[in-house]
């Protein structure tokens, strides 16, 4: 599978040397023309991965690899972890940087021992003065520079050739410049520290990546398969759907499946974030990565290991990083102007004071070199994706699947939220509580008719009617020519005759309503129940009243959302207005739009967007797709086990749990403020060094050390978001 051109996922490559957003720009420029356009490329800086999307024109693997090596980087087909890499590939940079450090130290000893003045040089005193550096020390420094800069030089060379100065070139220039003015120690220190900062950076980025992976990859590698009375341990990846496996008490479940025998409670927190274990009996669905309680279960696998809900979540989180957040895009744009600006400024600082005021050249060259170091935007640029990834992973762990970096920030800014009623604010589990047959029908006949029309429907109302028929022992044959009317009801034929079932609105549309029927329908829905009518072409056979319980957490959640500053909460529903009003009152929502068809819901959401800008639509995924699409942020509830729901959403709440919404808003705000802290800190450090450089008191190595420190701190700060999932479990 490795590196093959996959129809769906494209050609995946590991790019050695891709560890900063700067390199992404370089690769886009160089590989873009080879595959048709830059748009066909996707990057995952954290994993050093470049994907040539399936939309790309066929560029051959060799062509692409050649183009990559022109940039001073190296590409090879992507392999999922676990494959062996040669020692030099894994540790080459570390080894050469370590060598650089040792040589630097040796050079310093020789230098200090023979000339005595090196301490002064290290302190930056008399920067620019030519020290008498002994030949032996110079040689040691030179090799320290080469080993420290070994992995940087090819990239610097590419930047020089393509006339696009980047950090690597700047560093090469700075080091050469330092050596040219006789600052050997300084030059070697810079080369070493720059190499070291790369090693540390890829270490901390690697740590971020591993933390994310371990947070998500929870399913065991083996399952115990039952064959007759014998059990055997088998690799989870070898199990085909349909195979029955045994889950012992306390064990983590390895594959998605359906319980065949046994009863237990399963802790589904890893998938849904729910704190309370969920009861499982035969017929129930269980998910890979969740933890079995005290009962033993036998489970029939429903998906292969690579296709479980957990595997899909992991894949979606990985893909989500590629859809960069607004902050990331801002930083990228900023970096594009920042680096050249500082660069131009450095040139001015080098040239102007000596030319205009006759200041000493070497003095200002040195200050200009320090500015070059500050021009490196890496700390700034890497902090945001690390924060975003940590945030995505923590959310996924809490049962909130955010499908793009772009949607990480959106919840923080919401001004209004529209809720679907059925299945979102309510449980979506209807029960038939009123049966009102009209003349010539009895209750059972009415129920049989309704059930016949609902036989093929997945709608919660349909399921309630079928369950009711079954519990009363009413037999029926499914109607023919069944036709679902989205948001209204259904039609079909029973014994050759056309019948329909549907909402009050649908009845009105058919023009079959009488004053008496209207009054009775209003009476049912006034009590907060959903009223449904059944009829044929001539008359109405009767009415059904269905009750659906408000989610217990609904009203408290609305208060919490308002407390978070989201003041405009609206309910959109296809149900009758009186029913809707009653549910909204109980939930504490003041704006109600009822009797809406799916397209009306979309229009209603659009109105909210026009009015408030950032509007989320929360639905259960059943015929809400248009409304979800017209919102700024489409949120689907209860998505675990429903691929379609996950598909349509920007954010999928795996559990049926409204409390995830305020959590999401808070999590998003936390993420945003972490990103802002990081940007402010990284820029602040630069500004400070900048001022020191102009004042002539900053040394090159101080500038690099500050940059390196800033990188480590912002990465660490971003990783703190991984802990977000703890707070999510609190009730
Ligand atoms: P909601 O907007 O509350 O999610 P829907 O858009 O699914 O509800 O349906 C709107 C209304 O249409 C329901 O309240 C019901 O009266 C009617 N309806 C929809 N589907 C069916 C069905 N299969 N059987 C009976 N009535 C239905
Ligand atoms: Mg609905």
185-232 residue pLDDT tens? 888 988 998 888 888 877 877 777 777 777 667 788 889 998 877 888
Closest residue to atom 21 of ligand 1, CA basis = 489
- Which of 91-95, 117-121, 655-659 reaches the highest mean pLDDT? 655-659
Ligand 2 geometric centre to CA of 627 (Å): 11
Q: Out of 524, 547, 570, pick the residue that ends a domain.
A: 547
How many degrees, rounded to 5, is the angle at CA 501 between CA 498 and CA 503? 140
Could you give the strand order of the β-sheet that contains 278-280, starting from the edge strand earlier in sequence? Answer: 278-280, 264-267, 291-292
- Higher-confidence position of 318 and 150: 150
Q: Which residues contact 437 (CB under 8 A, 6 or more apart)?
A: 443, 445, 446, 541, 542
DSSP 3-state percent helix, strand, coil across the chain (nearest 5): 55, 20, 30
Point out the ligand 1 atom lying closest to the alpha carbon of residue 424.
4
pLDDT of residue 220: 85
Q: Is 480 helix (H, G, I), strand (E, B) or coil?
A: strand
pLDDT of residue 130: 44
Q: Which of 36-45, 482-491, 658-667, 718-727 has the lowest mean pLDDT?
A: 718-727
Ligand 1 geometric centre to CA of 600 (Å): 14
Check whether residue 92 and residue 194 sit in a common domain: yes
Closest residue to atom 8 of ligand 1, CA basis = 574
Point out the ligand 1 atom lying closest to the alpha carbon of residue 573.
2
Catalytic residue among 332, 420, 575, 624: 420
CA distance to 429, 464, 524, 642, per residue, from 467 (Å) = 11, 5, 20, 22
Ligand nearest to the CA of 598: 1
Residue closest to 540 by CA, chosen among 500, 600, 587: 500
Residue 75, H or E segment: strand 74-77
Read off the pLDDT of each residue in 286-300 and give the average, rounded to a whole number.
Answer: 92
Read off the pLDDT of each residue in 608-633 and give the average, rounded to a whole number.
Answer: 90
DSSP character at residue 253: P
Q: Which of 17-21, 94-98, 493-497, 508-512 has the lowest mean pLDDT?
A: 17-21
DSSP character at residue 720: G
Pocket probe for ligand 1: among 451, 453, 454, 459, the residue whose CB has the most ligand atoms within 8 Å is 459
pLDDT of residue 728: 40
Q: Is the Cβ–Cβ distance between 13 and 52 less than 8 Å?
A: yes
Check whether residue 41 and residue 52 sit in a common domain: yes
Residue closest to 375 by CA, chosen among 174, 101, 87, 158: 174
pLDDT of residue 644: 75
Helix intervals (H) in 359-402: 361-374, 378-397
- Higher-confidence position of 666 and 84: 666
Pocket probe for ligand 1: among 457, 466, 487, the residue whose CB has the most ligand atoms within 8 Å is 487
Per-residue confidence at 133, pLDDT binned at 50, 70, 90? confident
Number of domains in the chain: 4
Ligand nearest to the CA of 421: 1
Q: Whole-prediction pTM value?
A: 0.81
Count of C-beta atoms within a 10 Å radius of residue 77:
14
Judge whether residue 7 has pLDDT over 70.
Answer: no
Ligand 1 geometric centre to CA of 410 (Å): 30
Q: Where are the beta strands (DSSP E) in 353-479?
A: 400-402, 416-420, 431-437
Closest residue to atom 9 of ligand 1, CA basis = 487
Pocket probe for ligand 1: among 532, 583, 624, the residue whose CB has the most ligand atoms within 8 Å is 532
pLDDT of residue 727: 43
Check whether residue 93 and residue 203 sit in a common domain: yes
> What is the radius of gyration, based on Cα positions, of the chain?
33
**Token pair recorded at residue 387:** 């924060």
Pocket of ligand 1 (CB under 6 A): 420-422, 454, 457, 459, 461-462, 487-490, 501-503, 530, 532, 573-575, 623
Ligand nearest to the CA of 578: 1
Point out the ligand 1 atom lying closest to the alpha carbon of residue 597.
6
Per-residue confidence at 366, pLDDT binned at 50, 70, 90? confident
pLDDT of residue 154: 87
Report d(CA 120, CA 448) in Å as an integer.
97
Q: Which residues contact 685 (CB under 8 A, 6 or more apart)?
A: 379, 706, 707, 709, 710
Report d(CA 176, CA 178) in Å as an integer.
5
Check whether residue 200 and residue 334 sit in a common domain: yes
pLDDT of residue 127: 44
pLDDT of residue 115: 52
Q: Out of 250, 284, 307, pick the residue that ends a domain.
A: 307
pLDDT of residue 126: 45
Ligand 2 geometric centre to CA of 575 (Å): 9
Check whether residue 481 and residue 365 sit in a common domain: no
Ligand nearest to the CA of 534: 1
Pocket probe for ligand 1: among 418, 419, 421, 461, the residue whose CB has the most ligand atoms within 8 Å is 461
Read off the pLDDT of each residue in 19-40 and give the average, rounded to a whole number.
Answer: 83
Q: Out of 273, 307, 341, pick the residue that ends a domain.
A: 307
Closest residue to atom 16 of ligand 1, CA basis = 503
Q: Is residue 18 part of a domain?
A: yes
Ligand 2 geometric centre to CA of 162 (Å): 57
DSSP character at residue 10: B
The residue segments making up the domain with residue 302 are: 220-307
Check whether residue 34 and residue 117 sit in a common domain: no
Point out the ligand 1 atom lying closest to the alpha carbon of residue 454.
23
Q: Is the Cβ–Cβ distance between 421 and 575 less than 8 Å?
A: yes
Judge whether residue 124 has pLDDT over 80.
Answer: no
Pocket probe for ligand 1: among 428, 455, 486, 489, the residue whose CB has the most ligand atoms within 8 Å is 489
Per-residue confidence at 726, pLDDT binned at 50, 70, 90? very low
Q: Is the Cβ–Cβ distance between 31 and 23 less than 8 Å?
A: no
Q: Are strands 568-572 and 41-44 parallel, antiparallel or unpaired?
A: unpaired
Q: Which residues contact 181 (CB under 8 A, 6 or more apart)?
A: 128, 130, 362, 365, 366
Ligand nearest to the CA of 596: 1
Percent of the chain topping pLDDT 90: 41
Q: Is 528 helix (H, G, I), strand (E, B) or coil?
A: coil
Q: Could you give the count of Cα atoms lying within 13 Å of 701 in the half-sphere of its Cβ?
A: 18
Check whether residue 57 and residue 71 sit in a common domain: yes
pLDDT of residue 621: 72
Closest residue to atom 15 of ligand 1, CA basis = 503
Check whether residue 105 and residue 138 sit in a common domain: yes
Closest residue to atom 7 of ligand 1, CA basis = 487
Q: Is the Cβ–Cβ distance between 544 and 531 less than 8 Å?
A: yes
Check whether residue 92 and residue 79 sit in a common domain: no
Judge whether residue 731 has pLDDT over 60.
Answer: no
Judge whether residue 58 has pLDDT over 50.
Answer: yes
Q: Is residue 668 part of a domain?
A: no
Percent of the chain topping pLDDT 70: 92
Ligand 1 geometric centre to CA of 298 (Å): 37
Ligand 2 geometric centre to CA of 490 (Å): 15
Q: What sign results for the dihedral spanned by CA atoms 205, 207, 212, 216?
A: positive
Ligand 1 geometric centre to CA of 430 (Å): 11
Read off the pLDDT of each residue in 640-657 and give the average, rounded to a whole number.
Answer: 84
Closest residue to atom 24 of ligand 1, CA basis = 489
Check whether residue 276 and residue 288 sit in a common domain: yes
Q: Is residue 412 part of a domain?
A: no
Q: Is the Cβ–Cβ distance between 468 and 534 less than 8 Å?
A: no
Judge whether residue 250 has pLDDT over 50.
Answer: yes
**Token pair recorded at residue 219:** 């399913």
Ligand 2 geometric centre to CA of 344 (Å): 59
Q: Is residue 555 part of a domain?
A: no
**Token pair recorded at residue 304:** 């292969």
Q: Which of 535-549, 573-587, 682-696 has the lowest mean pLDDT?
A: 682-696
Point out the ligand 1 atom lying closest to the alpha carbon of residue 459.
23
Read off the pLDDT of each residue in 482-511 and give the average, rounded to a whole number.
Answer: 92
Check whether residue 92 and residue 206 sit in a common domain: yes
Q: Which residue has the tokens 């093929």?
A: 456
Q: Is residue 295 part of a domain?
A: yes
Report d(CA 554, CA 674) in Å as an integer.
30
**DSSP per residue over 277-312, as a string?**
-EEE-TT-EE-TT-EE-SS-EEEEE-S-GGGSHHHH
Q: Is residue 312 part of a domain?
A: no
Q: Is the Cβ–Cβ distance between 638 and 620 less than 8 Å?
A: yes
Read off the pLDDT of each residue in 548-567 and give the average, rounded to a whole number.
Answer: 95
pLDDT of residue 213: 74
- Which of 372-381, 396-405, 462-471 reaches the highest mean pLDDT? 462-471
Point out the ligand 1 atom lying closest to the alpha carbon of residue 502.
26
Closest residue to atom 27 of ligand 1, CA basis = 489
What's CA 45's distance to the chain center, in Å?
15
Per-residue confidence at 729, pLDDT binned at 50, 70, 90? very low
Count of C-beta atoms within a 10 Å radius of residue 211:
17
Q: Which of 65-79, 209-223, 239-253, 491-505 has the lowest mean pLDDT?
A: 209-223
Residue 648, H or E segment: helix 643-648
Q: Which of 64-73, 114-123, 508-517 has the lowest mean pLDDT?
A: 114-123
Judge whether residue 611 has pLDDT over 90.
Answer: yes
Read off the pLDDT of each residue in 476-485 and give the average, rounded to a whole number.
Answer: 92
Point out the ligand 1 atom lying closest to the alpha carbon of residue 598.
6
CATH number, domain at 438? 3.40.1110.10
How many degrees, rounded to 5, is the angle at CA 189 between CA 188 and CA 195? 90
Report d(CA 424, CA 571) in Å as an integer.
10
Point out the ligand 1 atom lying closest to the alpha carbon of residue 501.
25
pLDDT of residue 499: 95
pLDDT of residue 431: 94
- 420 included as an active-site residue: yes
**Token pair recorded at residue 616:** 């989320």
Check whether residue 197 and residue 342 sit in a common domain: yes
Ligand 1 geometric centre to CA of 528 (Å): 15
Ligand 2 geometric centre to CA of 607 (Å): 19
Read off the pLDDT of each residue in 136-152 and give the average, rounded to a whole number.
Answer: 90
CATH number, domain at 70? 3.30.70.100
Q: Is residue 539 part of a domain?
A: yes
Closest residue to atom 23 of ligand 1, CA basis = 489
Q: Is 247 helix (H, G, I), strand (E, B) or coil?
A: strand
Q: Is residue 599 part of a domain?
A: no
Q: Is 53 helix (H, G, I), strand (E, B) or coil?
A: coil
Ligand nearest to the CA of 583: 1
How many degrees, rounded to 5, is the angle at CA 412 between CA 558 and CA 670? 105
Q: Which residue has the tokens 């009801």?
A: 489
Count of C-beta atoms within a 10 Å radius of residue 53:
14
């Amino acid at each position: 599978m490795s590196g093959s051109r996959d129809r769906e996922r494209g050609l995946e490559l590991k790019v050695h040397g891709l560890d900063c957003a700067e390199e992404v720009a370089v690769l886009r420029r160089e590989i873009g023309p080879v595959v048709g356009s830059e748009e066909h490329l996707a990057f995952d800086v954290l994993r050093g991965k470049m994907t040539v999307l399936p939309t790309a024109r066929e560029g051959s693997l060799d062509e692409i690899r050649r183009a990559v090596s022109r940039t001073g980087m190296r590409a090879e087909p992507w392999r999922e972890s676990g494959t062996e890499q040669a020692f030099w590939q894994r540790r080459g940079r570390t080894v050469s940087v370590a060598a650089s450090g040792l040589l630097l130290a040796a050079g310093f000893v020789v230098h200090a021992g023979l000339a005595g003045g090196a301490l002064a040089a290290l302190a930056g005193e008399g920067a620019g003065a030519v020290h008498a550096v002994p030949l032996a020390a110079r040689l040691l420094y030179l090799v320290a520079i080469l080993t420290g800069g070994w992995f940087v030089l090819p990239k610097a060379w590419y930047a020089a050739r393509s006339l696009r100065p980047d950090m690597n070139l700047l560093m090469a220039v700075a080091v050469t410049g330092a050596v040219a003015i006789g600052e050997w120690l300084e030059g070697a220190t810079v080369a070493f520290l720059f190499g070291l900062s790369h090693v540390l950076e890829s270490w901390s980025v690697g740590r971020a990546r591993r933390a994310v992976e371990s947070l998500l990859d929870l399913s065991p590698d083996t399952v115990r398969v039952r064959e007759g009375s014998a059990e055997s341990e088998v690799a989870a990846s070898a199990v085909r759907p349909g195979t029955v496996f045994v889950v012992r008490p306390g064990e983590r479940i390895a594959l998605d499946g359906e319980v065949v025998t046994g009863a237990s409670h399963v802790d589904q927190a890893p998938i849904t974030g729910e704190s309370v274990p969920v009861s499982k009996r035969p017929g129930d669905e269980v998910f890979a990565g969740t933890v079995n309680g005290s009962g033993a279960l036998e489970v029939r696998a429903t998906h292969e290991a690579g296709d479980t809900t957990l595997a899909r979540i992991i894949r979606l989180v990985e893909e989500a990083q590629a859809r960069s957040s607004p902050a990331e895009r801002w930083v990228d744009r900023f970096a594009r102007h920042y680096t050249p600006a500082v660069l131009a400024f450095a040139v001015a600082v080098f040239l102007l004071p000596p030319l205009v005021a006759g200041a000493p050249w070497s003095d200002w060259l040195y200050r200009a070199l320090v500015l070059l170091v500050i021009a490196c935007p890496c700390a700034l640029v890497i902090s945001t994706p690390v924060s975003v990834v940590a945030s995505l992973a923590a959310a996924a762990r809490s049962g909130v699947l955010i499908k793009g970096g772009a949607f990480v920030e959106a919840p923080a800014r919401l001004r209004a939220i529209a809720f679907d009623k059925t299945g979102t604010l309510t449980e979506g589990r209807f029960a038939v509580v009123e049966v009102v047959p009209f003349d010539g029908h009895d209750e059972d006949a009415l129920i049989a008719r309704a059930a016949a029309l609902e036989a093929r429907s997945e709608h919660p109302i349909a399921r309630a009617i079928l369950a009711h028929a079954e519990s009363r022992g009413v037999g029926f044959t499914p109607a023919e020519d069944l036709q679902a009317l989205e948001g209204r009801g259904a039609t079909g034929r029973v014994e050759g005759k056309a019948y329909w079932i549907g909402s009050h609105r649908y009845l009105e549309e058919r023009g079959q309503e009488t004053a008496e029927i209207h009054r009775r329908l209003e009476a049912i829905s006034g009590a907060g129940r959903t009223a449904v009518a059944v009829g044929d072409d001539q008359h109405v056979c009767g009415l059904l009243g269905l009750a659906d319980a408000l989610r217990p957490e609904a009203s408290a959640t609305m208060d919490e959302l308002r407390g978070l500053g989201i003041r405009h909460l609206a309910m959109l529903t296809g149900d009758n207005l009186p029913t809707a009003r009653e549910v909204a009152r109980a939930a504490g929502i003041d704006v109600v739009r009822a009797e809406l068809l799916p397209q009306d819901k979309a229009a209603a959401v659009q109105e909210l967007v026009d009015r408030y800008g950032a509007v989320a639509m929360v639905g259960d995924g059943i015929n809400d797709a248009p409304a979800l699409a017209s919102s700024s942020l489409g949120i689907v509830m209860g998505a675990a086990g429903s691929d379609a729901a996950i598909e349509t959403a920007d954010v999928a709440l795996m559990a049926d749990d409204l409390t995830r919404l305020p959590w999401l808003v808070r999590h998003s705000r936390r993420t945003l403020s972490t990103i802002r802290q990081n940007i402010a800190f990284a820029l602040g450090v630069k500004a400070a060094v900048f001022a020191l450089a102009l004042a002539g008191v900053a040394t090159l190595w101080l500038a690099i050390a500050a940059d390196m420190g800033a990188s480590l701190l912002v990465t660490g700060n971003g990783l703190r978001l991984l802990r977000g999932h703890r707070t999510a479990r609190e009730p």
